[in-house]
Structure 1
Protein backbone atom coordinates (compact mmCIF):
# COMPACT_ATOMS: atom_id res chain seq x y z
CA UNK A 1 0.00 0.00 0.00
CA UNK A 2 1.44 3.35 -1.05
CA UNK A 3 0.41 6.96 -0.69
CA UNK A 4 2.37 8.37 -3.63
CA UNK A 5 4.72 6.86 -6.28
CA UNK A 6 3.70 9.05 -9.20
CA UNK A 7 4.06 8.15 -12.87
CA UNK A 8 5.05 10.64 -15.53
CA UNK A 9 2.85 10.97 -18.61
CA UNK A 10 5.52 9.13 -20.62
CA UNK A 11 5.61 6.26 -18.11
CA UNK A 12 1.81 6.06 -18.17
CA UNK A 13 1.69 5.94 -21.96
CA UNK A 14 4.30 3.18 -21.92
CA UNK A 15 2.12 1.20 -19.47
CA UNK A 16 -0.92 1.84 -21.67
CA UNK A 17 0.89 0.44 -24.72
CA UNK A 18 2.09 -2.57 -22.73
CA UNK A 19 -1.41 -3.45 -21.48
CA UNK A 20 -2.86 -3.07 -24.98
CA UNK A 21 -0.28 -5.59 -26.14
CA UNK A 22 -0.80 -8.23 -23.44
CA UNK A 23 -4.37 -7.94 -22.07
CA UNK A 24 -6.69 -10.61 -23.52
CA UNK A 25 -9.55 -8.16 -24.16
CA UNK A 26 -7.46 -5.41 -25.71
CA UNK A 27 -8.20 -6.34 -29.33
CA UNK A 28 -11.73 -7.77 -29.13
CA UNK A 29 -15.04 -5.84 -29.46
CA UNK A 30 -16.45 -7.29 -26.22
CA UNK A 31 -13.17 -6.81 -24.44
CA UNK A 32 -12.32 -9.00 -21.49
CA UNK A 33 -15.88 -10.34 -21.21
CA UNK A 34 -14.70 -12.92 -23.75
CA UNK A 35 -12.49 -14.47 -21.07
CA UNK A 36 -15.63 -15.92 -19.43
CA UNK A 37 -16.58 -19.16 -21.15
CA UNK A 38 -19.68 -21.31 -20.67
CA UNK A 39 -17.49 -23.86 -18.92
CA UNK A 40 -16.29 -21.21 -16.47
CA UNK A 41 -19.88 -20.19 -15.72
CA UNK A 42 -20.72 -23.80 -14.91
CA UNK A 43 -17.64 -24.01 -12.69
CA UNK A 44 -18.69 -20.79 -10.93
CA UNK A 45 -22.10 -22.30 -10.21
CA UNK A 46 -20.27 -25.00 -8.25
CA UNK A 47 -19.12 -22.24 -5.85
CA UNK A 48 -22.68 -22.13 -4.48
CA UNK A 49 -22.99 -24.11 -1.24
CA UNK A 50 -25.72 -22.52 0.87
CA UNK A 51 -27.80 -20.70 -1.75
CA UNK A 52 -27.49 -17.47 0.26
CA UNK A 53 -27.57 -14.26 -1.84
CA UNK A 54 -25.94 -10.95 -0.91
CA UNK A 55 -26.32 -7.63 -2.68
CA UNK A 56 -23.06 -5.89 -3.60
CA UNK A 57 -24.73 -2.55 -4.30
CA UNK A 58 -25.31 0.41 -2.04
CA UNK A 59 -28.78 1.96 -1.65
CA UNK A 60 -29.32 4.68 -4.24
CA UNK A 61 -28.80 8.14 -2.70
CA UNK A 62 -31.37 10.90 -3.24
CA UNK A 63 -29.87 13.60 -0.97
CA UNK A 64 -27.20 16.12 -1.86
CA UNK A 65 -23.97 15.30 -0.02
CA UNK A 66 -20.31 16.41 -0.24
CA UNK A 67 -19.63 13.47 -2.60
CA UNK A 68 -22.94 13.73 -4.47
CA UNK A 69 -23.82 17.15 -5.86
CA UNK A 70 -26.18 15.59 -8.42
CA UNK A 71 -28.09 12.86 -6.55
CA UNK A 72 -30.67 10.57 -8.09
CA UNK A 73 -34.22 11.83 -8.24
CA UNK A 74 -37.17 9.69 -7.20
CA UNK A 75 -40.76 10.80 -6.90
CA UNK A 76 -44.21 9.30 -6.77
CA UNK A 77 -46.17 10.26 -9.89
CA UNK A 78 -49.44 8.61 -8.91
CA UNK A 79 -51.79 8.64 -7.15
CA UNK A 80 -51.99 12.47 -7.09
CA UNK A 81 -50.49 13.89 -3.88
CA UNK A 82 -49.95 10.31 -2.72
CA UNK A 83 -53.64 9.94 -1.90
CA UNK A 84 -55.22 6.81 -3.36
CA UNK A 85 -58.84 6.56 -4.42
CA UNK A 86 -61.10 5.62 -1.49
CA UNK A 87 -62.47 2.59 -3.35
CA UNK A 88 -61.84 0.49 -6.43
CA UNK A 89 -58.58 -0.08 -8.29
CA UNK A 90 -55.67 2.38 -8.17
CA UNK A 91 -51.93 2.21 -8.89
CA UNK A 92 -48.88 3.70 -7.25
CA UNK A 93 -46.39 4.86 -9.92
CA UNK A 94 -43.04 6.57 -9.71
CA UNK A 95 -40.23 8.10 -11.79
CA UNK A 96 -36.49 7.73 -11.33
CA UNK A 97 -33.61 9.73 -12.83
CA UNK A 98 -29.91 9.23 -12.18
CA UNK A 99 -26.44 10.50 -13.02
CA UNK A 100 -25.04 7.04 -13.72
CA UNK A 101 -21.36 7.93 -13.33
CA UNK A 102 -21.54 9.78 -10.03
CA UNK A 103 -19.36 9.27 -6.96
CA UNK A 104 -21.84 7.43 -4.74
CA UNK A 105 -24.21 5.08 -6.54
CA UNK A 106 -23.16 1.58 -7.66
CA UNK A 107 -22.79 1.38 -11.43
CA UNK A 108 -21.17 -0.39 -14.37
CA UNK A 109 -18.92 1.48 -16.81
CA UNK A 110 -19.37 0.42 -20.43
CA UNK A 111 -16.45 0.30 -22.87
CA UNK A 112 -17.60 3.55 -24.51
CA UNK A 113 -17.30 5.46 -21.23
CA UNK A 114 -13.62 6.40 -21.50
CA UNK A 115 -12.28 8.63 -24.29
CA UNK A 116 -8.49 8.87 -24.52
CA UNK A 117 -6.62 10.67 -27.27
CA UNK A 118 -9.93 11.06 -29.11
CA UNK A 119 -10.64 7.33 -29.27
CA UNK A 120 -12.65 4.65 -27.50
CA UNK A 121 -11.51 1.10 -26.75
CA UNK A 122 -10.07 -0.58 -29.83
CA UNK A 123 -9.13 2.70 -31.47
CA UNK A 124 -12.69 3.63 -32.50
CA UNK A 125 -12.83 7.41 -33.16
CA UNK A 126 -15.04 8.90 -30.48
CA UNK A 127 -16.54 11.37 -32.94
CA UNK A 128 -17.82 8.47 -35.05
CA UNK A 129 -19.51 6.69 -32.14
CA UNK A 130 -20.83 9.39 -29.84
CA UNK A 131 -23.84 11.64 -30.37
CA UNK A 132 -26.37 13.41 -28.14
CA UNK A 133 -28.43 10.21 -28.32
CA UNK A 134 -25.64 8.03 -26.91
CA UNK A 135 -22.96 5.73 -28.27
CA UNK A 136 -23.39 3.61 -31.40
CA UNK A 137 -20.47 1.39 -30.36
CA UNK A 138 -19.30 -0.37 -27.19
CA UNK A 139 -22.36 0.61 -25.18
CA UNK A 140 -23.62 -1.24 -22.11
CA UNK A 141 -25.64 -3.36 -24.53
CA UNK A 142 -22.49 -5.50 -24.87
CA UNK A 143 -23.41 -6.90 -21.44
CA UNK A 144 -27.10 -7.37 -22.25
CA UNK A 145 -26.99 -11.09 -21.42
CA UNK A 146 -25.49 -10.36 -18.02
CA UNK A 147 -22.05 -11.02 -16.61
CA UNK A 148 -21.91 -14.26 -14.68
CA UNK A 149 -18.76 -15.88 -13.32
CA UNK A 150 -16.59 -16.56 -10.33
CA UNK A 151 -16.40 -13.55 -8.05
CA UNK A 152 -13.24 -13.05 -5.98
CA UNK A 153 -13.13 -10.56 -3.10
CA UNK A 154 -9.67 -9.23 -2.19
CA UNK A 155 -9.94 -7.39 1.14
CA UNK A 156 -6.97 -5.00 1.29
CA UNK A 157 -7.72 -3.26 4.64
CA UNK A 158 -7.99 -6.69 6.29
CA UNK A 159 -4.48 -7.44 5.04
CA UNK A 160 -3.20 -4.57 7.20
CA UNK A 161 -5.56 -5.03 10.15
CA UNK A 162 -7.56 -1.92 9.20
CA UNK A 163 -11.22 -1.11 8.76
CA UNK A 164 -10.48 0.94 5.63
CA UNK A 165 -7.69 2.53 3.67
CA UNK A 166 -7.41 6.26 4.15
CA UNK A 167 -8.15 8.50 1.15
CA UNK A 168 -5.11 8.83 -1.10
CA UNK A 169 -3.82 5.29 -0.45
CA UNK A 170 -2.90 3.20 -3.50
CA UNK A 171 -3.42 -0.55 -3.81
CA UNK A 172 -0.43 -2.11 -5.58
CA UNK A 173 0.32 -5.38 -7.37
CA UNK A 174 2.09 -6.54 -4.23
CA UNK A 175 -1.03 -5.81 -2.16
CA UNK A 176 -3.21 -7.90 -4.48
CA UNK A 177 -0.76 -10.80 -4.42
CA UNK A 178 -0.43 -10.58 -0.63
CA UNK A 179 -4.23 -10.58 -0.23
CA UNK A 180 -4.43 -13.70 -2.38
CA UNK A 181 -1.87 -15.45 -0.19
CA UNK A 182 -3.50 -14.30 3.06
CA UNK A 183 -6.93 -15.44 1.88
CA UNK A 184 -5.71 -18.72 0.37
CA UNK A 185 -6.96 -18.11 -3.17
CA UNK A 186 -5.57 -17.39 -6.63
CA UNK A 187 -7.17 -15.11 -9.20
CA UNK A 188 -7.53 -16.82 -12.57
CA UNK A 189 -8.71 -16.22 -16.12
CA UNK A 190 -12.30 -14.98 -16.40
CA UNK A 191 -12.69 -14.00 -12.74
CA UNK A 192 -14.72 -11.01 -11.58
CA UNK A 193 -12.24 -9.40 -9.19
CA UNK A 194 -13.65 -7.16 -6.45
CA UNK A 195 -11.15 -5.09 -4.50
CA UNK A 196 -12.28 -3.80 -1.12
CA UNK A 197 -10.61 -0.58 0.05
CA UNK A 198 -13.19 0.11 2.80
CA UNK A 199 -14.61 3.23 1.14
CA UNK A 200 -18.19 2.38 2.09
CA UNK A 201 -17.41 1.57 5.70
CA UNK A 202 -15.50 4.82 6.11
CA UNK A 203 -18.40 6.75 4.59
CA UNK A 204 -20.96 5.01 6.79
CA UNK A 205 -18.97 5.55 10.00
CA UNK A 206 -17.43 9.00 9.41
CA UNK A 207 -19.88 10.49 6.92
CA UNK A 208 -19.53 11.60 3.28
CA UNK A 209 -16.56 13.66 2.11
CA UNK A 210 -15.36 15.22 -1.15
CA UNK A 211 -14.07 12.07 -2.84
CA UNK A 212 -13.11 13.98 -5.98
CA UNK A 213 -10.23 15.39 -3.94
CA UNK A 214 -9.25 12.32 -1.92
CA UNK A 215 -10.11 8.61 -2.14
CA UNK A 216 -8.35 5.25 -1.96
CA UNK A 217 -8.01 3.14 -5.09
CA UNK A 218 -5.70 1.09 -7.25
CA UNK A 219 -2.30 2.26 -8.40
CA UNK A 220 -2.14 2.18 -12.22
CA UNK A 221 0.62 -0.44 -12.15
CA UNK A 222 -1.78 -2.82 -10.33
CA UNK A 223 -3.49 -3.31 -13.69
CA UNK A 224 -0.52 -5.45 -14.72
CA UNK A 225 -1.71 -8.02 -12.17
CA UNK A 226 -5.19 -8.06 -13.73
CA UNK A 227 -3.78 -8.39 -17.25
CA UNK A 228 -1.43 -11.22 -16.30
CA UNK A 229 -4.28 -13.15 -14.64
CA UNK A 230 -6.63 -12.38 -17.58
CA UNK A 231 -9.38 -10.99 -15.35
CA UNK A 232 -12.83 -10.37 -16.88
CA UNK A 233 -14.18 -7.51 -14.73
CA UNK A 234 -12.80 -5.23 -12.02
CA UNK A 235 -14.94 -3.77 -9.26
CA UNK A 236 -14.37 -1.82 -6.06
CA UNK A 237 -16.27 -0.18 -3.23
CA UNK A 238 -14.62 3.06 -4.36
CA UNK A 239 -14.03 4.53 -7.79
CA UNK A 240 -11.18 2.07 -8.59
CA UNK A 241 -9.02 5.19 -9.16
CA UNK A 242 -7.13 6.96 -6.39
CA UNK A 243 -7.48 10.69 -5.80
CA UNK A 244 -5.39 12.65 -6.17
CA UNK A 245 -4.20 10.89 -9.30
CA UNK A 246 -0.73 9.37 -9.37
CA UNK A 247 -0.31 10.24 -13.07
CA UNK A 248 0.61 13.68 -14.31
CA UNK A 249 -2.13 15.01 -16.58
CA UNK A 250 -4.46 11.98 -16.29
CA UNK A 251 -7.17 12.25 -13.62
CA UNK A 252 -8.46 8.66 -13.90
CA UNK A 253 -5.56 6.46 -15.00
CA UNK A 254 -7.10 3.15 -13.87
CA UNK A 255 -10.22 3.90 -15.92
CA UNK A 256 -8.08 4.68 -18.96
CA UNK A 257 -6.01 1.52 -18.59
CA UNK A 258 -8.87 -0.84 -17.73
CA UNK A 259 -11.59 0.40 -20.09
CA UNK A 260 -9.64 1.96 -22.95
CA UNK A 261 -6.49 -0.18 -23.12
CA UNK A 262 -7.71 -3.53 -21.77
CA UNK A 263 -11.39 -3.53 -22.76
CA UNK A 264 -12.45 -4.25 -19.19
CA UNK A 265 -15.83 -3.22 -17.78
CA UNK A 266 -15.55 -1.53 -14.38
CA UNK A 267 -17.87 -1.64 -11.39
CA UNK A 268 -17.62 1.53 -9.29
CA UNK A 269 -18.87 2.28 -5.76
CA UNK A 270 -20.07 -1.17 -4.76
CA UNK A 271 -20.67 -2.19 -1.15
CA UNK A 272 -18.96 -5.19 0.48
CA UNK A 273 -19.83 -4.61 4.14
CA UNK A 274 -22.37 -7.45 4.17
CA UNK A 275 -20.20 -9.86 2.17
CA UNK A 276 -16.74 -9.32 3.68
CA UNK A 277 -17.58 -10.44 7.26
CA UNK A 278 -19.17 -13.64 5.95
CA UNK A 279 -16.14 -14.37 3.75
CA UNK A 280 -13.81 -13.82 6.71
CA UNK A 281 -15.89 -15.93 9.08
CA UNK A 282 -16.26 -18.83 6.65
CA UNK A 283 -12.75 -18.54 5.22
CA UNK A 284 -14.01 -18.49 1.63
CA UNK A 285 -13.49 -15.56 -0.69
CA UNK A 286 -14.93 -16.88 -3.94
CA UNK A 287 -18.58 -17.16 -4.98
CA UNK A 288 -20.93 -17.08 -7.94
CA UNK A 289 -21.31 -13.46 -9.05
CA UNK A 290 -24.23 -12.26 -11.17
CA UNK A 291 -24.28 -8.78 -12.72
CA UNK A 292 -27.32 -7.68 -14.75
CA UNK A 293 -27.13 -4.13 -16.15
CA UNK A 294 -30.21 -2.47 -17.62
CA UNK A 295 -30.70 -2.87 -21.36
CA UNK A 296 -29.90 0.69 -22.43
CA UNK A 297 -28.76 0.17 -26.05
CA UNK A 298 -26.66 3.35 -26.44
CA UNK A 299 -25.78 4.10 -22.81
CA UNK A 300 -22.26 4.56 -21.44
CA UNK A 301 -23.12 2.67 -18.25
CA UNK A 302 -25.89 1.41 -16.04
CA UNK A 303 -26.94 1.36 -12.40
CA UNK A 304 -26.41 -2.18 -11.19
CA UNK A 305 -27.08 -4.46 -8.24
CA UNK A 306 -24.51 -7.29 -8.44
CA UNK A 307 -25.26 -10.40 -6.42
CA UNK A 308 -22.86 -12.73 -4.63
CA UNK A 309 -24.35 -16.22 -4.29
CA UNK A 310 -22.61 -18.33 -1.65
Structure 2
Protein backbone atom coordinates (compact mmCIF):
# COMPACT_ATOMS: atom_id res chain seq x y z
CA UNK A 1 0.00 0.00 0.00
CA UNK A 2 1.38 3.36 -0.98
CA UNK A 3 2.32 5.59 1.90
CA UNK A 4 2.41 9.36 1.43
CA UNK A 5 4.12 11.94 3.61
CA UNK A 6 0.78 12.95 5.14
CA UNK A 7 0.13 9.41 6.31
CA UNK A 8 3.61 9.22 7.81
CA UNK A 9 3.17 12.51 9.65
CA UNK A 10 -0.24 11.51 10.99
CA UNK A 11 1.36 8.95 13.27
CA UNK A 12 3.03 11.55 15.44
CA UNK A 13 1.50 9.99 18.57
CA UNK A 14 4.27 7.38 18.41
CA UNK A 15 7.11 9.91 18.45
CA UNK A 16 10.29 8.63 20.06
CA UNK A 17 12.06 11.86 20.98
CA UNK A 18 13.30 13.42 17.71
CA UNK A 19 13.28 16.79 19.49
CA UNK A 20 16.61 15.79 21.03
CA UNK A 21 18.32 15.70 17.63
CA UNK A 22 20.55 18.52 16.40
CA UNK A 23 18.74 21.31 14.58
CA UNK A 24 20.34 20.73 11.18
CA UNK A 25 22.40 18.23 9.22
CA UNK A 26 25.44 20.48 9.57
CA UNK A 27 25.35 20.10 13.37
CA UNK A 28 24.86 16.31 13.46
CA UNK A 29 27.11 14.48 15.90
CA UNK A 30 27.70 10.98 17.28
CA UNK A 31 24.72 11.34 19.64
CA UNK A 32 22.44 11.88 16.65
CA UNK A 33 23.90 8.85 14.88
CA UNK A 34 23.13 6.73 17.92
CA UNK A 35 19.62 8.15 18.27
CA UNK A 36 18.86 7.15 14.68
CA UNK A 37 20.28 3.65 15.32
CA UNK A 38 22.85 4.10 12.57
CA UNK A 39 26.47 3.04 12.47
CA UNK A 40 29.44 3.40 10.14
CA UNK A 41 31.19 0.15 9.36
CA UNK A 42 34.60 -0.17 7.70
CA UNK A 43 34.95 -2.90 5.12
CA UNK A 44 37.94 -4.37 3.31
CA UNK A 45 35.76 -5.56 0.45
CA UNK A 46 34.93 -3.18 -2.37
CA UNK A 47 31.89 -5.37 -3.10
CA UNK A 48 30.20 -4.04 0.04
CA UNK A 49 30.24 -0.50 -1.37
CA UNK A 50 30.97 -0.44 -5.11
CA UNK A 51 28.45 -1.99 -7.55
CA UNK A 52 29.58 -4.99 -9.59
CA UNK A 53 29.68 -3.44 -13.05
CA UNK A 54 31.93 -3.86 -16.07
CA UNK A 55 33.20 -0.44 -17.15
CA UNK A 56 35.89 1.32 -19.12
CA UNK A 57 37.78 3.99 -17.23
CA UNK A 58 39.40 7.16 -18.63
CA UNK A 59 42.92 5.71 -18.65
CA UNK A 60 44.50 9.00 -19.72
CA UNK A 61 43.94 10.34 -16.19
CA UNK A 62 45.85 7.54 -14.43
CA UNK A 63 49.35 8.81 -15.41
CA UNK A 64 51.35 6.02 -13.71
CA UNK A 65 54.50 8.14 -13.32
CA UNK A 66 52.78 11.07 -11.59
CA UNK A 67 52.73 10.62 -7.81
CA UNK A 68 52.64 12.95 -4.82
CA UNK A 69 56.38 13.59 -4.94
CA UNK A 70 56.17 14.70 -8.57
CA UNK A 71 53.08 16.83 -7.90
CA UNK A 72 54.93 18.55 -5.06
CA UNK A 73 57.71 19.79 -7.34
CA UNK A 74 57.79 23.56 -7.75
CA UNK A 75 59.23 23.24 -11.27
CA UNK A 76 56.60 20.76 -12.53
CA UNK A 77 55.86 21.42 -16.22
CA UNK A 78 52.26 20.26 -16.55
CA UNK A 79 52.14 21.03 -20.27
CA UNK A 80 54.52 18.10 -20.90
CA UNK A 81 52.52 15.51 -18.95
CA UNK A 82 49.75 15.04 -21.48
CA UNK A 83 48.49 16.23 -24.85
CA UNK A 84 44.93 16.26 -23.47
CA UNK A 85 43.98 19.68 -22.11
CA UNK A 86 41.35 18.17 -19.78
CA UNK A 87 43.98 15.91 -18.24
CA UNK A 88 46.37 18.85 -17.89
CA UNK A 89 43.69 20.85 -16.09
CA UNK A 90 42.97 17.96 -13.71
CA UNK A 91 46.66 17.46 -12.87
CA UNK A 92 47.09 21.22 -12.45
CA UNK A 93 44.41 21.22 -9.71
CA UNK A 94 46.08 18.25 -7.98
CA UNK A 95 49.45 20.04 -8.20
CA UNK A 96 48.02 23.17 -6.54
CA UNK A 97 46.35 21.17 -3.75
CA UNK A 98 49.49 19.15 -3.00
CA UNK A 99 51.60 22.31 -2.98
CA UNK A 100 49.30 24.40 -0.79
CA UNK A 101 47.25 22.06 1.38
CA UNK A 102 48.56 21.75 4.93
CA UNK A 103 46.80 19.13 6.99
CA UNK A 104 47.34 20.99 10.25
CA UNK A 105 45.92 24.39 9.26
CA UNK A 106 43.60 23.70 6.33
CA UNK A 107 43.71 24.90 2.76
CA UNK A 108 41.35 27.85 3.19
CA UNK A 109 40.46 28.09 -0.51
CA UNK A 110 38.28 26.56 -3.20
CA UNK A 111 40.76 24.03 -4.58
CA UNK A 112 38.79 21.03 -3.35
CA UNK A 113 35.65 22.49 -4.92
CA UNK A 114 37.50 22.74 -8.22
CA UNK A 115 38.80 19.18 -7.96
CA UNK A 116 35.37 17.69 -7.25
CA UNK A 117 33.71 19.77 -9.96
CA UNK A 118 36.33 18.66 -12.48
CA UNK A 119 35.75 15.01 -11.58
CA UNK A 120 31.99 15.38 -11.89
CA UNK A 121 31.72 17.47 -15.05
CA UNK A 122 34.83 16.78 -17.12
CA UNK A 123 36.46 13.52 -16.09
CA UNK A 124 33.38 11.35 -15.56
CA UNK A 125 30.55 13.30 -17.23
CA UNK A 126 28.03 12.89 -14.42
CA UNK A 127 26.19 15.86 -15.90
CA UNK A 128 25.64 14.13 -19.24
CA UNK A 129 22.05 13.25 -20.10
CA UNK A 130 20.18 11.37 -18.71
CA UNK A 131 22.03 12.10 -15.47
CA UNK A 132 21.75 15.40 -13.66
CA UNK A 133 24.04 17.25 -11.27
CA UNK A 134 22.44 19.47 -8.64
CA UNK A 135 24.72 21.99 -6.96
CA UNK A 136 23.98 22.70 -3.28
CA UNK A 137 20.39 21.35 -3.32
CA UNK A 138 18.42 22.34 -0.23
CA UNK A 139 16.58 19.40 1.33
CA UNK A 140 14.58 18.55 4.44
CA UNK A 141 14.70 15.48 6.63
CA UNK A 142 11.43 14.54 8.37
CA UNK A 143 11.74 12.58 11.63
CA UNK A 144 8.27 12.36 13.11
CA UNK A 145 7.03 15.94 13.35
CA UNK A 146 10.56 17.38 13.41
CA UNK A 147 11.95 18.87 10.19
CA UNK A 148 15.73 19.20 9.85
CA UNK A 149 17.30 21.25 7.02
CA UNK A 150 20.18 19.84 5.00
CA UNK A 151 22.23 21.05 2.06
CA UNK A 152 24.42 18.72 0.03
CA UNK A 153 27.34 19.97 -2.06
CA UNK A 154 26.78 17.93 -5.21
CA UNK A 155 23.93 15.46 -5.76
CA UNK A 156 23.69 13.14 -8.77
CA UNK A 157 20.30 11.95 -9.92
CA UNK A 158 18.21 10.69 -12.77
CA UNK A 159 14.66 10.85 -11.48
CA UNK A 160 15.82 9.98 -7.97
CA UNK A 161 18.96 10.79 -5.98
CA UNK A 162 21.61 8.10 -5.80
CA UNK A 163 24.97 9.74 -5.19
CA UNK A 164 26.27 12.58 -3.04
CA UNK A 165 29.68 14.22 -3.19
CA UNK A 166 30.80 15.58 0.16
CA UNK A 167 33.95 17.63 0.57
CA UNK A 168 35.52 19.93 3.11
CA UNK A 169 37.97 22.61 2.04
CA UNK A 170 39.08 23.28 5.61
CA UNK A 171 40.94 20.25 6.86
CA UNK A 172 40.91 21.47 10.46
CA UNK A 173 37.13 20.83 10.46
CA UNK A 174 37.77 17.12 9.96
CA UNK A 175 38.97 16.06 13.40
CA UNK A 176 38.59 12.94 15.54
CA UNK A 177 36.56 14.84 18.17
CA UNK A 178 33.94 15.49 15.43
CA UNK A 179 34.11 11.83 14.37
CA UNK A 180 35.72 13.19 11.21
CA UNK A 181 32.41 14.75 10.19
CA UNK A 182 30.71 11.44 9.36
CA UNK A 183 27.47 12.21 11.26
CA UNK A 184 26.81 14.93 8.69
CA UNK A 185 27.14 12.30 5.94
CA UNK A 186 24.34 10.31 7.60
CA UNK A 187 22.07 13.36 7.79
CA UNK A 188 22.64 14.38 4.16
CA UNK A 189 22.16 10.81 2.95
CA UNK A 190 18.83 10.56 4.78
CA UNK A 191 17.75 13.98 3.52
CA UNK A 192 18.39 12.93 -0.08
CA UNK A 193 16.50 9.71 0.56
CA UNK A 194 13.62 11.72 2.01
CA UNK A 195 13.50 13.72 -1.22
CA UNK A 196 13.24 10.43 -3.11
CA UNK A 197 10.25 9.41 -0.97
CA UNK A 198 8.58 12.71 -1.70
CA UNK A 199 9.04 12.21 -5.43
CA UNK A 200 7.82 8.60 -5.32
CA UNK A 201 4.92 9.39 -2.90
CA UNK A 202 5.69 6.24 -0.93
CA UNK A 203 8.34 4.60 1.20
CA UNK A 204 10.60 2.01 -0.41
CA UNK A 205 14.02 0.41 0.00
CA UNK A 206 16.81 2.34 -1.71
CA UNK A 207 20.57 2.35 -2.14
CA UNK A 208 22.47 5.57 -1.50
CA UNK A 209 26.14 6.30 -2.24
CA UNK A 210 28.41 9.02 -0.88
CA UNK A 211 31.82 9.98 -2.19
CA UNK A 212 33.83 11.99 0.28
CA UNK A 213 36.76 14.11 -0.90
CA UNK A 214 39.05 15.70 1.68
CA UNK A 215 42.02 17.42 0.03
CA UNK A 216 43.08 14.66 -2.45
CA UNK A 217 41.78 11.77 -0.34
CA UNK A 218 38.62 9.88 -1.33
CA UNK A 219 36.41 7.58 0.73
CA UNK A 220 33.32 5.74 -0.52
CA UNK A 221 30.13 5.04 1.46
CA UNK A 222 27.07 2.96 0.68
CA UNK A 223 23.87 2.27 2.60
CA UNK A 224 20.77 0.25 1.86
CA UNK A 225 17.97 2.14 3.60
CA UNK A 226 15.04 -0.24 4.02
CA UNK A 227 11.38 0.64 3.76
CA UNK A 228 10.85 -0.42 7.37
CA UNK A 229 13.50 2.08 8.52
CA UNK A 230 11.74 4.90 6.67
CA UNK A 231 8.43 3.85 8.19
CA UNK A 232 9.87 4.15 11.69
CA UNK A 233 11.38 7.55 10.90
CA UNK A 234 7.84 8.64 10.10
CA UNK A 235 7.09 8.08 13.79
CA UNK A 236 10.31 9.45 15.23
CA UNK A 237 13.69 8.00 16.10
CA UNK A 238 13.65 4.28 15.21
CA UNK A 239 13.34 1.69 17.96
CA UNK A 240 13.51 -1.62 16.10
CA UNK A 241 15.06 -0.82 12.72
CA UNK A 242 18.70 0.18 12.23
CA UNK A 243 20.96 1.43 9.46
CA UNK A 244 24.50 0.39 8.54
CA UNK A 245 26.62 2.63 6.33
CA UNK A 246 29.60 0.81 4.84
CA UNK A 247 32.86 2.70 4.44
CA UNK A 248 35.59 1.77 1.96
CA UNK A 249 38.56 1.59 2.17
CA UNK A 250 38.15 -0.34 5.37
CA UNK A 251 40.59 1.10 7.85
CA UNK A 252 39.01 3.76 10.02
CA UNK A 253 36.90 6.90 9.73
CA UNK A 254 40.08 8.95 9.22
CA UNK A 255 39.61 10.45 5.71
CA UNK A 256 43.37 10.78 5.21
CA UNK A 257 43.54 6.98 4.98
CA UNK A 258 41.32 7.01 1.91
CA UNK A 259 42.36 6.59 -1.71
CA UNK A 260 44.77 9.35 -2.74
CA UNK A 261 44.14 11.06 -6.07
CA UNK A 262 47.74 12.28 -5.92
CA UNK A 263 48.84 8.65 -6.28
CA UNK A 264 48.40 6.72 -9.58
CA UNK A 265 47.02 3.62 -7.85
CA UNK A 266 44.61 5.77 -5.89
CA UNK A 267 43.51 7.59 -9.04
CA UNK A 268 42.86 4.32 -10.84
CA UNK A 269 40.78 2.96 -7.97
CA UNK A 270 38.74 6.15 -7.63
CA UNK A 271 38.09 6.42 -11.36
CA UNK A 272 37.05 2.79 -11.67
CA UNK A 273 34.78 2.98 -8.62
CA UNK A 274 33.08 6.17 -9.81
CA UNK A 275 32.57 4.68 -13.28
CA UNK A 276 30.88 1.65 -11.68
CA UNK A 277 28.60 3.86 -9.58
CA UNK A 278 27.76 5.91 -12.65
CA UNK A 279 26.83 2.74 -14.56
CA UNK A 280 24.67 1.61 -11.64
CA UNK A 281 22.75 4.90 -11.75
CA UNK A 282 22.32 4.63 -15.51
CA UNK A 283 21.09 1.04 -15.22
CA UNK A 284 18.57 2.13 -12.59
CA UNK A 285 16.77 4.11 -15.28
CA UNK A 286 15.41 0.85 -16.62
CA UNK A 287 13.75 -0.08 -13.34
CA UNK A 288 10.74 1.47 -11.67
CA UNK A 289 10.22 1.93 -7.95
CA UNK A 290 8.27 -1.15 -6.79
CA UNK A 291 4.74 -0.64 -5.53
CA UNK A 292 5.38 -3.17 -2.76
CA UNK A 293 8.74 -3.96 -1.21
For normalisation by structure 2, the TM-score amounts to 0.26
For normalisation by structure 1, the TM-score amounts to 0.25
